[in-house]
Amino acid sequence: MKKSVIKSVSVGLLAALFTVSVAFAWTSNNANTAEAEMLSCPTGTVTIQGCVIDIDGCDYVNTTNGRTININLFNFPNVSVGDEISATGRFQTDGDCTNCRLSPTSLTVLGTCP
């Protein structure tokens, strides 16, 4: 009888772990989507740091604080997907990839993303 109780607890814990991990992935994905689809652009100069990624042909930065920001890399041909960067600039309205895109005035390649 003790064995069946242990099996029941193990299955219950496994189910709970699976449920939590799925919920976390769903929440994380929604947070990234919401960040990428800002309705109005923030004002002022900002600095971001993170890894350059490509989503459907558009450049984004997965920032070190967990945000996904669309970035305009047109004037920075030395930057490619997989680079870790630090960029300073302003957000501008954009109709191609998202509503807002960071247009850097300065950008430094820090290395390759882990």
State pLDDT tens for residues 20-46: 322 222 233 333 443 445 668 989 999
CA distance 48 to 72: 13
| Domain 45-112: homologous superfamily in CATH | Nucleic acid-binding proteins (2.40.50.140)
Domain residue extents for the chain = 45-112
pLDDT at 72: 96
- Tens digits of per-residue pLDDT, 2-24? 444 443 333 333 333 333 322 22
- Which one is predicted more confidently, 22 or 81? 81
pLDDT at 45: 96
Task: Give the Cα-Cα-Cα angle 103, 112, 67 (nearest 5 degrees).
Answer: 50
- Tens digits of per-residue pLDDT, 53-75? 999 999 999 999 999 999 999 99
- Which one is predicted more confidently, 42 or 82? 82
pLDDT at 37: 54
